[in-house]
């Protein structure tokens, strides 16, 4: 005979049922459903898994964490989100505000300048992609075109201008359609 899965009575069954109905997150609703089944009708984990449409491992995991931690085990922040961040969204907005206001007045704020200020703000270096992502998160990205290519050679450009014209003229004469001369 298999082991019966029971949930600790941290909450009454009616309270669990209410939370099951009112929770907007599908993952939390599924967890509450597993706990409700274990509270109202304790049975094998495989039966609860079949009834709730989950796996046996998930039933064991949810019930074990609920028995140990209570409601906090079910109402977690959820999947996704910004877990690894240097500063919060509001702090980022406050940091970028002077740069945005200067840009609105017609000044130029470069990513390099913002990066240096951000590194001073944090107290350590950050990768340049951090600043690009920060600007994108706040809906502000205006790329500045490069004035001159780093490998540009003025001599090679001048030489190209001298030699390219005759070659283009030869090609254009060859590409003209032939006419029979009959009108």
pLDDT digit string, tens, across residues 34-78:
999 999 999 999 999 999 999 999 999 999 999 999 999 998 877
Task: Give the pair of three-digit tokens for residue 69.
Answer: 């931690």
Asked if 132 and 141 count as a contact pair (C-beta separation under 8 A), the reply is yes
Is pLDDT above 70 for 117? yes
Over residues 134-177, the pLDDT tens digits come to: 999 998 866 667 778 888 888 988 888 877 766 666 666 665 66
**CA dist list (Å): 4 to 8, 27, 42, 47, 86:** 13, 24, 6, 10, 46
Is pLDDT above 80 for 29? yes
Phi, psi of 10 (to 5 degrees): -65, -40
Is pLDDT above 80 for 15? yes
The residue length of the chain stands at 183
- Sequential DSSP letters for 9-68: -SS-HHHHHHHHHH---HHHHHHHHHHHHHHHS-EEHHHHHHHHTS-HHHHHHHHHHHHH
pLDDT for residue 159: 84
pLDDT for residue 158: 85
Is pLDDT above 70 for 116? yes
Displacement of CA 13 from its chain's centroid (Å)? 38
pTM of the model: 0.52
- What are the domain boundaries of the chain? 4-73, 89-137
> Between these two residues, 44 and 178, which has the higher pLDDT value?
44
Over residues 76-103, the pLDDT tens digits come to: 877 777 778 899 999 999 999 999 898 8
pLDDT for residue 44: 95
């Amino acid at each position: 005979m298999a082991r019966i899965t029971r949930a600790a009575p941290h909450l009454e069954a009616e309270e669990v049922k209410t939370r099951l109905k009112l929770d907007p997150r599908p993952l939390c609703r599924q967890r509450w459903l597993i706990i409700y089944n274990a509270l109202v009708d304790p049975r094998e984990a495989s039966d609860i898994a079949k009834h709730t449409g989950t796996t046996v491992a998930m039933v064991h995991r949810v019930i074990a964490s609920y028995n140990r931690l209570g409601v906090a085990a079910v109402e977690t922040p959820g999947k996704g989100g910004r877990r690894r961040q240097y500063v919060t969204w509001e702090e980022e907005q406050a940091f970028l505000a002077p740069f945005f206001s200067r840009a609105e007045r017609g000044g130029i704020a470069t990513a390099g300048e913002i990066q240096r200020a951000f590194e001073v703000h944090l107290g350590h270096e950050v990768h340049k992609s951090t600043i690009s992502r920060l600007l994108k998160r706040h809906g502000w990205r205006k790329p500045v075109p490069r004035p001159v290519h780093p490998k540009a050679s003025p001599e090679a450009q001048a030489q190209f201008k001298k030699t390219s014209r005759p070659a283009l003229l030869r090609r254009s004469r060859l590409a003209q359609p032939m006419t029979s001369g009959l009108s």
